[in-house]
Amino acid sequence: HPTTLIPYAERIKAHTNPTAIKILQIMDRKKTNLAVSVDVSTAAEALEVVRRVGASVCMVKTHVDIFEDFTPAFTEELVRLSKKLDFVIFEDRKFADIGNTVSLQYSSGVHKIASWSDLTNAHSVPGPGIIAGLSKIGQPLGRGLLLLAEMSSKGSLAVGGYTEETFKMAQEAGREFVIGFIAQNRVDKAELLKEKEGEREDYLIMSPGVGLAAKGDSLGQQYRTPRECVVDSGADVIIVGRGIYGVSGGEAAVRDEAERYRKAGWEAYEERLKL
């Protein structure tokens, strides 16, 4: 796939969305394509994990609706850490409703996601109105959106024609707000990428379901190695949760494990540039 042969830094010029530009700049600056997912049960624990892994990642992914102790103080501290430790915040909200509803869910409620999260994501199942509803809120703030084109879990229905239609929906929406996909493969097939004034469309592919130890869990999660994701399947960002925050051995072990995944992801990226 042509995009995978271009260094992250050179891909910046193909983007106008501030969050896409920021992600690629951070990846290049910190030599990391690692995102850590902090799916722990309290905001306090999540901040502990972020302090440990922050130096190793380009992105921190949250599910803030998991926390039993969520308050706006959490997002304030996360934003502060994102500036200090240089990473982007991705609330993995997986919006899935009509445009009007998602615009309210994104801007309002307890979590006010658009006010602090650089990046979020949405299912394509409701149709393009979901992108319109979210972009109305997020685009003026410079936020970015990923569409879920595939999932890592066993038996996912996001395959084949669904995945292809999701790509087309993103392409039709334009890249001012939709900057890429949650996927297991390069769903932006080379022959479908449009060119304008010699510049090819560039999408960020982010892959969850990454682990160096386990092959999966008891609830359908499936893991691949960083190399399988980045070299074999062309992912740009690898997303790791339990493989990092779930490691036993205390604070230093979590930090070391994040570094191990960062190195594995970066070496895979350097390997694919030479293909």
Residues with catalytic function = 92, 94, 97
What character string, x for contact with ligand 5FU (CB under 6 A) and - otherwise, covers 204-223? ----xx-----------x--
Cα distance between residue 32 and residue 66, in whole Å: 27
Q: Say which residue the tokens 């992912």 belong to.
A: 235
Tokens at 64, concatenated: 């803030």
**221 marked among binding-site residues:** yes
State the distance between the two ends of the chain, measured CA to CA, in whole angstroms. 10
- Pick the piece of the chain touching ligand 5FU (CB under 6 A) from 16-24, 77-85, 144-152, 224-232: 144-152
Q: Which 75-134 positions form the footprint of ligand 5FU (CB under 6 A)?
A: 92
What character string, x for contact with ligand 5FU (CB under 6 A) and - otherwise, covers 21-60? ----------------x-x---------------------
Q: Secondary structure of 126-162 in the HEC alphabet?
A: CCCHHHHHHHHHHHHHCCEEEEECCCCCCCCCCCHHH
Number of chain residues interacting with ligand 5FU (CB under 6 A): 17
**138 marked among binding-site residues:** no
| Residue in 182, 187, 229, 237 binding ligand 5FU, rule: CB under 6 A | 182
CB atoms within 10 A of CB 177: 23
**11 marked among binding-site residues:** no
Q: Identify which of residues 157 and 275 has a Cβ nearer to ligand 5FU in the complex.
A: 157
Q: Identify which of residues 237 and 240 has a Cβ nearer to ligand 5FU in the complex.
A: 240
CA 212 to chain centre: 19
CA 238 to chain centre: 8
CB of 223 to ligand 5FU, least distance (A): 7
Expressed in percent and rounded to 5, the helix, strand and coil fractions of the chain are 50, 15, 35
Tokens at 191, concatenated: 């022959």
* Backbone conformation region of residue 27, classed left if phi is above 0, alpha if psi is from -120 to 50, else beta: alpha
Q: Is 151 in the site for ligand 5FU (CB under 6 A)?
A: yes
Q: Identify which of residues 135 and 221 has a Cβ nearer to ligand 5FU in the complex.
A: 221
Cα distance between residue 141 and residue 18, in whole Å: 9
What character string, x for contact with ligand 5FU (CB under 6 A) and - otherwise, covers 237-266? --xxxxx-----------------------
- Pick the piece of the chain touching ligand 5FU (CB under 6 A) from 24-32, 81-89, 147-155, 248-256: 147-155
Task: Judge contact between 58 and 33, C-beta under 8 A.
Answer: yes
Would you tell me which residues interact with ligand 5FU (CB under 6 A)? 37, 39, 63, 92, 148, 151-153, 182, 208-209, 221, 239-243
Give the residue numbers of the binding site for substrate.
Answer: 39, 61, 152, 221, 241-242
